[in-house]
A and B are shown apart, each in its own frame.
Chain A
Amino acid sequence: MTMAILEIQSLTKRFGGLTAVNDVSFSVEKGAIVSVIGPNGAGKSTLFKLISSFVSPTSGRVDFNGHTITGMPAHEVARRGVVRTFQETTIFKEMTAMQNVIVAHQLRCRASSVGIFFSSATARADEERFQASAAEILDYLGLGPVGQMIARNLPHGNLRALGIAVALAAEPRVLLLDEPFAGMNIEETDAAVKMVRGIRDRGVTVILVEHDMSAVMRISDKVVVLNFGTKIAEGTPSEIQQNESVIEAYLGRADEEIGH
């Protein structure tokens, strides 16, 4: 049996009277691709924010490699290797694509702030490494040709890839992708599915929130279904496709939505 890299234990988040996430538990095996699906407002995004510590839970906890990361500052969770992307195309808009990715190497910075200011040997070595690594990441995601473009001028498809490039630069062990296929046509989705598999093959465990059911069913090792903040099912894609409560949650539109 493979080891669980991430253990989500009874996570609950209430906003006032609204319970966005209610007692959700599941585990994520190392090297897996796990999808979290559910109708709009099911609490998927909140769950992501809880895992990445952008929001703290009302109760419950998240263990990463056996250590509880709940309650840590979000940047510390990222430093340990749990890195999220954002639903919108969130990037540093006024920097070039290359600069976006280089800045995202901050975690691997060995030079101190003072060393950086005086351009110490360590700082210069850092920059050289980051430059090479950023170029490699950009090439890997097919962004090599647009590396010198200001990010806000990039075509929409490239923006999402850049968002992922920025996250990869932080050297995640677990990458949380928020709707990576949203708004893509079939070919774009195919390419993106390949890309996500490729990221997994680089040794990164992937958790994604997604609406595109056919992509989810193709790509996932495990699917977790949320409805009104509660986990209603968990299993392999084929188990989920036959699950009664899942079909019910999707209000009879199951046939088209779940990808039969």
Chain B
Amino acid sequence: MGIETKQEASSEVKGSGGISSGHDRLPAGSKLRFFALAATLLVVVPVVLGRSPYYITVLTNAAVLAFISLGVWVTFSIGRMNLAQGAFAMVGGYITAILSTRYGLSFWLCMPLSGLVSAALGAFVGWPVLRLKGVYFAMITLSLTEAIRLLTLNGGDVTKGATGIVNIPRPGAIGIFGLTIVPEFSGADPLPFYFLACGLLLLGIVAVWRLSTSRLGWVFRSLRQNEDLATSIGINVGKYRVIAFAICCFMGGIGGAFFAAYHQNIYPASYTIADSVNFMLYCFLGGLDFILGPVVGAFLLVIAFEILHAVQDYQALIYGILMIACMLWLPNGILSLAVRRSSRESPARK
């Protein structure tokens, strides 16, 4: 034990002492990595794959799924396994669907509103439910996904039941003084949606990175490590749990709004328990210790799923085996391969 302790200690000494002074869970050069990712998504991919709508569609999906999973990652940071993210994406999607088809509200207003409604619902439900821990919280959130699905199925005229809401308008143009900043989204060109998806994802990464490295991130982690101790030093545990959960639900709502406008429809079957589980799996696969974990996980799994399309009959089987293999041999996620043992935080899998 002595040797290991020493190694970890000495690697820690090199890190910064405080909380805000740049101590984060990304390896050194994280800004560089981020800009590399941004350049790849915004420049390289459109140039190389711009003419093949299929790939752009796959990557658009992956980007928004990664964005939604980032929210789940935030709830992991307070030590809760959230299996309700599908429900909050569904809520966001229906809010956008209803507001845009019934009241003709612009997508650009619907999207933030969807996020806010999901966050408010998350705070309302989260206040009592977040007292639960571990498998109990996971089970409650799992049933929440199902509850929201049933709610939309039986929503009568508001949600249109099993027929769902169709013909949701695409995002319109944004202009100031007659100058068009964002052109109207058309069905023919997948690139505008792709850019919107990447924009959301990059913004989400920056926001979560900022959150996680700021004092708030440390408060969240203190909750994960010991709620009683956090209470004893005056941290309002209930309040911060709800803040973290509401941030998560906000991101779910935004993602749901995107997909509603992207697919131009939403049904009660749009988000099922499997989707909620997938959002969590992306986090696991990429690595809970890393902000980019859910992003890496989402892109890998979504792309792998598409590649496995070729062997259709065995797709689900191979997918499942891959998942089990990853969990067995890479319990800290794929990104743990890239990072040496420095400043590791054990994941919240209590």
Contact = CB atoms under 8 A, between A and B. Distances in A.
Contact of A153 (B9, B211, B236): B9
A86 B222 contact: no
Contacts of B346: 94
Contact of A127 (B5, B9, B18, B229): B18
A102 B235 CA distance: 13
Interface in B211-264: 211, 214-216, 218-219, 221-222, 225-226, 228-229, 231-238, 243
B336 to A, nearest CB: 15
A116 B346 CA distance: 25
Contact of B231 (A74, A91, A99, A103): A74
B306 interface: no
B18 A98 contact: yes
B12 interface: yes
Contacts of B210: 117, 119
B236 A92 contact: no
A103 B234 contact: no
A27 interface: no
A167 B234 CA distance: 10
The interface centre, meaning the residue of B15, B214, B216, B243 with most chain A CB atoms within 10 A of its CB, is B214
Interface in B109-144: none
Interface stretch (A36-44, A106-114, A180-188, A249-257): A106-114
A104 interface: yes
The interface centre, meaning the residue of B12, B19, B238, B345 with most chain A CB atoms within 10 A of its CB, is B19
A90 interface: yes
A147 B233 contact: no
Interface in A67-93: 73-76, 78-79, 83-86, 90-93
A169 B222 CA distance: 15
A102 B233 contact: no
Contact of A169 (B8, B233, B345): B233
A92 B15 contact: no
Interface string A226-257: 00000000000000000000000000000000
Contacts of B234: 75-76, 78-79, 83, 106-107, 170
Interface residues of A, number: 47
Contacts of B221: 92, 94-95
Contacts of B15: 96, 148
A92 B210 CA distance: 21
A75 B18 CA distance: 24
B222 A150 contact: no
Contact of A98 (B17, B219, B345): B17
Contact of A166 (B211, B219, B229, B236): B229
Contacts of B243: 113
A95 B5 CA distance: 14
A147 B343 CA distance: 14
A124 interface: yes
A78 B232 contact: yes
Contacts of A149: 9, 12-13
Contact of B233 (A54, A150, A167): A167
Given A117-B214, A147-B17, A95 B233 contact: no
A225 interface: no
A115 B232 CA distance: 24
Interface string A15-39: 0000000000000000000000000
Name the 10 nearest CB pairs between A and B, nearest first: A78-B234, A107-B234, A170-B233, A104-B233, A92-B225, A127-B20, A79-B234, A131-B18, A153-B5, A148-B13
Interface of A: 52, 54, 73-76, 78-79, 83-86, 90-96, 98-99, 102-104, 106-107, 109, 111, 113, 116-117, 119, 123-124, 126-127, 130-131, 147-150, 153, 166-167, 169-170
5 contacts: A75-B234, A102-B19, A103-B222, A113-B243, A148-B13
Given A123-B20, A148-B9, 12 more contacts: A86-B228, A90-B229, A93-B225, A96-B15, A103-B19, A106-B234, A126-B215, A127-B18, A130-B18, A148-B15, A148-B17, A153-B5
